[in-house]
Every structure is written in C-alpha cells, then in structure tokens.
Amino acid sequence: MNRKRVVATAVLVALLLPVIDRNAYHVDVLVTAGIYAILALGLNVIVGYAGLLHLGYAAFFAIGAYTYALLNLHGGWPFWCGLPASALVAGVVGLVLGMPVMRVRGDYLAIVTLGFGEIVRIGVTNLAQWTGGPNGLLGIDHPTVVVPGVATYNFGVGSVPYYYLVLGGVVFTAEACRRLGACRIGRAWTAIREDDTAAQCMGIDTVRLKLLALGCGASIAGTAGCIFAAKQGTITPDSFDFILSVMVLAMVVLGGLGSIPGAILGAVMLSLLPEMLRGAAMHRMLLFGLVMIVMMRLRPQGLLGSVQIRRELAH
C-alpha cells in the first residue's frame, strides 16, 4: 500500500471515529490529542527539521491563546478572525525571540528558550489587568459558523464540532509541513541540522533560515493556542507551564525527529496512554514512564524515525 493510500485511509478512519464511538469523553480526549498533534508538528519544524532544541515552546501556545482571548473579549473579534491573528502574533514573537539567541547553540539555546517560556508564563500571571492574573480570562467566545440564509451554528461545549475543527487543523498543518520539508528551505534546514558550520560554508544563510524555522513553528503553536482558548472558553497561566513544553518535545522524539506521521503518532500515543492506564490509579504515571524508557531503549530513533537518525544517536 503506497503512502497516499495510507494517508487517505487514516483520514477516512479519523472522519468516522465520532460516528463509531459516540462517547463524548472519548471524543474530547481525541480533541486534546489533536491539539497536541498540531503542537508537535510545529515543534517538529524547529527541532526535527532545523535541529534547534527548544524548551519553551509552550510560550507560543500561550501567546496564541491569550491573543485570541484578548481580541475577543476586548475587541469582539470572532474566532475565524482571531485564528490568523494568533498565528501572526506568535510567529512574530518567535522571530523576535530568535534574533538575540541565534549566536548560541545546543544546550545554551535550550537554556535560553527555557527561560523565555518561564518569562511568558510569569508575565501573563502578573499582568492581571490584561490577562486576569492567576485566575485567567473567562467568557471567551466559542467558534460559530454562519450559513447565509439558513442559520448560525455555535460550536458551544460539544466535543464533535471541535473534533472536526482540530482534525482539519492537523491535516492542513501536516500538509504545510510536508511541503516545507520537501522544498529548498526544508533541504537547507536538514543541512543546518546535520552540520551548522558546513551548511554555512556552503553558502546557506543559517541565521535567516533558523529564524524562519522559529517563526513557522511559533505560528503553528499560536494556531493551536487559539483553538484551545476557543474550546475551553477560559484560559489560565497554569495551562502553559514547562511540563507542557517537555511533553510536546517527548511526542516529537517518540514519533521520530523530522517525521510528520511520527509527530502525529507520538502526540496521539502520549495523549491516550495516560488515559488507557487510568485504571492503574497511582501507578499509571510509573507505568507511563517505564513504557517511555523501554521505547527509547529499543528504538531510539523513534517509532517512525529514519535509520539515519539512529546512526547519528549511536555516535
């Protein structure tokens, strides 16, 4: 079975899932998995394509969520206008962050981005007059779809409309990432990931392309943040902590660095596995950790990672 058939079959199964399983809780868990999948695809651009270790990725998720929330509550912006605005603001912040840190690499870059993530979280906690402080923002509007001459449909709190919204977001983001990875920019990112110095000697503008990777990844996270805020109807700083950044990074590594299907699979697995182990009560997180350790020991390149990455990890 070729790749196109596999993708078409997977999309068809995903479209039918809410029909097959009408349990609202199960659908809601899948919505969360879909939001994580969008985040993982965005981080895969930064870490998997360009090789930039980013530990503050949740900050862009928060920026997208708070951008839509503020525009909606104070400016009356609907969801469909807030979605591109959230992506744009998060992308610009990603570029601004990247400008002063492009001189550092590896562990130093990870430390700087970790600090940025904490600055954003603490900032939204303390700017109470705008962000609501620790209590967050309430009353954020849900998406609505207007059919001219027929009716206006509000998503409300039901899980099914958000499921299809998130599924569309995953498919669109995956296709955009695939096209990015296959073009000249994607090949340049691969060269930078493999050997930054060699890429620079070959005439590749490494600074500009790293900034582009940060901007693209941040925009994707901002989009996910907007969807999250619209679904929840309320957001608090606790939703965007350092643990979230680590979880999304684990999803990318588990699926396989640079692999689009791997990022989606890793997000779905790490979203569903804790729920599947819920019956183990207090031991579920221990089991969750053991599964991760065994997985990384047996297949360090990730579930769908290439053999080349395994060779690189062995050196």
Report the half-sphere exposure of 139 (CA within 13 A, side-chain side): 8
CA distance 237 to 66: 10
Query: Which domains are present in the chain?
Result: 21-314 (1.10.3470)
pTM as predicted: 0.92
pLDDT band with cut points at 50, 70 and 90 for residue 81: very high
Cβ-based neighbours of 174, under 8 Å, separated by 6 or more:
41, 260, 264
Using CA of residue 80, residue 81, residue 82, residue 83, what is the dihedral sign? positive
Angle between helical axes of 79-101 and 206-232 (0-180°, round to 10): 140
E strands present in 124-271: 144-147, 151-154
Please provide the average confidence, as pLDDT, over all residues in the chain.
87
pLDDT-wise least confident of 39-53, 186-200, 242-256, 276-290: 276-290
pLDDT band of 282, cuts 50, 70, 90: low
DSSP 8-state assignment for residue 235: B
